[in-house]
Amino acid sequence: MTHPLDPLTADEIRQAAGIVRRDRGVGDGWRFASIELKEPAKADLPELAAGRQNSREALVVCWNRADGRAYRASVSLTGDQVTGWEHLPGQQPNMTVDEWHECDEMLRGHPDIIAALGRRGITDLSRVLADMWAYGAALVPPRYAGQRLGWCDLWYRGSERGNPYAHHLTGLHPVVDLNTMTLLELEDNGGGDASAAKVMGEYLPDLLPMRLREVAPLEVSQPDGVGFTLDGNLLRWQNWQLRIGFNHREGLVLHQVAFLDAGRLRPVAHRLSFAEMVVPYRDASPDHYRRTAFDIGEWGLGFMTTSLEAGCDCLGEITYLDAVLHDSRGEPVTVPNAICVHEEDSGVLWKHVDERTGTEVRRARRLVVSFHVTVANYEYLVYWRFYQDGGIECEVRATGIMVTSHIAAPGSRPANGTVVDHGSYAPFHQHFIVARLDMDVDGTGNTVYATQSRPAEPGGDDPYALGLTVVSTPLRTEAAGKQDYDWSTQRGWKVVNDNVRNALGAPVGYKLVPSAAIPALLDPASPVLARAGAIGHTLWVTPYREDERWPCGDFPVQAVRDTGLPAWTEADRPIENTDVVLWYVFGIHHITRPEDWPVMPSDIVSFWLKPVGFFDRNPALDVPPSHSHH
């Protein structure tokens, strides 16, 4: 039986596209940008889940390539009809994988591109890659205002199987009308000949100028099977229960996260996901000044998800789930093994050595739900980890290949990057990830408190100022909910349900333990901040609203301004003792290194959600001693 939060099936995607074609005249000249489940409102979920209501809906965004007009449709799958049809004037839907491939193919066959490559000594077009990027409105040439644009890098493989991102054709940038799929202009400053560059940018074993080292095998075995159960998309493990979801934009979504405590299933979070990823390159040269990616809003983590492989991407006894997406024609596309579920050893859970009773120790396990994304040159590996003590860790690993360009190119700014190979530098850049944390700690009546550690002043009965207190300040409105990390006070944030007390008389809560919080370091007038004002604070707190999903706005492609968090919070709505959503901004301040080249060792960042008074004592006391296996 389908649960109301289960992702759309292939048949439902096909049905939704068919209804829109039939009822709204969407034909061959159109593209489908997105087809996803229209998630039920929280208030409706109990009735739907119990089968007392029957309603299944989809959200569809599509546009007509002939006139560029975009529309958002609400589609009743149970009622077989379009229930809403909204024109989106001035909006550009997300970029599509089909556009990326069609642009690459068109440019490699264009006579102007062929001529420009020939001037650089490149005649084998099969080794050329056109990598298309989206524009922000502030950087769109005025003569192309209103058109759906892409600008491109051109790259060149040193051999048939070589790494295309090793050889940037610096100074050569096509600008493309994506609706007509035509070349509008070709920026060409006569930059370098990639075929002559003395760059070692290969990573495939047979192309390396060195032998591979020896590594002894490491295997994980669970002879009695895994410790979790998966019933459809309902996952249970070590008192944890959650539902796995997936869509084109966020990729992996975790629903209805709860912990079974003394026979009672206690909610922790209604929905956990990534809602945006902003990657500004901090190099003002002609090759990089436009280079700001919104990997979620422009492209979609779901669309960029890749299939996982046992033994490499995931180690141990693995359970995989496929993901069903679609192409721009509205046809379903399945990503096999898109989500990995497995258990891992996590070292010592707790331990004490007593002189009489000896050593008492427990090993920890964790449940990992993960997916991997390839966005052109970069990979993002996302892991949600659940622990036996009630903790939740979210980790992101960034790997893949850095963007590089030639030091000697006109307008080049190597001071804004690091030299990583002969004549090549990798620009500095940042990765801002916005995690959307729809918390329901023992219910929806939650208040967020900012916590700060305060040292004592010397004097009185504390002459050495040893005392340390924690000050918890309730955040009562959205203005107060705009928070920044402060290392000097070890600022953190607790999501507290003041209506529920633990056995010690304190209100129950979960704490957001911040890590990898980085400042924007952008001028207030920056066009990046205009489109991505959400990255201006470490934390935002808003009241739950069903339609407030995207922190940089519904459609950031060629957007003028951020119509998400900065716009919503202007109302300064109350956020005390209500259903709250936390938007946590974290990421990587990437000061590039030679050691990141030619393929980057994983750069790892994470944050935690930890119980604070949610339990009366250590919830992992009941974990048994480990079995001895040799």
Are 13 and 330 contacting, i.e. CB atoms less than 8 angstroms apart?
A: yes
Write the CB contacts of 79 (distance below 8 Å, at least 6 apart in sequence).
none
Cα angle for residues 516, 520, 521 (degrees, 5° grid):
120
Please name every residue paired with 229 in a beta bridge, in sequence order, or none if there are none.
236
Provide the 3-class DSSP secondary structure of residue 521: coil
The number of beta carbons lying within 10 Å of the beta carbon of residue 182 is: 10
Note whether 35 and 8 are within 8 A (CB).
yes
242 in Cβ contact with 251 (< 8 Å): no
Which of 303, 245, 293 lies closest to 273 in space, CA to CA?
245
Where on the phi/psi map is residue 100: left (φ > 0), alpha (ψ -120 to 50), or beta?
alpha
Can you tell me the distance from the alpha carbon of 554 to that of 563, in angstroms, rounded to the nearest whole number? 8
Cis peptide before 598 (omega within 30 of 0): yes
Rounded CA separation 215/212 (Å): 9
| Number of residues that this document lists for the chain | 630
Active site residues: 295, 378
- Beta-carbon count within 10 A of 343 CB: 21
Q: How far is CA 309 from the centre of its chain?
A: 20
**Would you give the DSSP letter of residue 467?**
-
Supply the DSSP symbol for 299: I
Identify whether the C-beta of residue 228 lies closer than 8 Å to the C-beta of residue 237: yes
Cα–Cα distance measured from residue 382 to residue 602, given in angstroms and rounded to the nearest whole number: 12
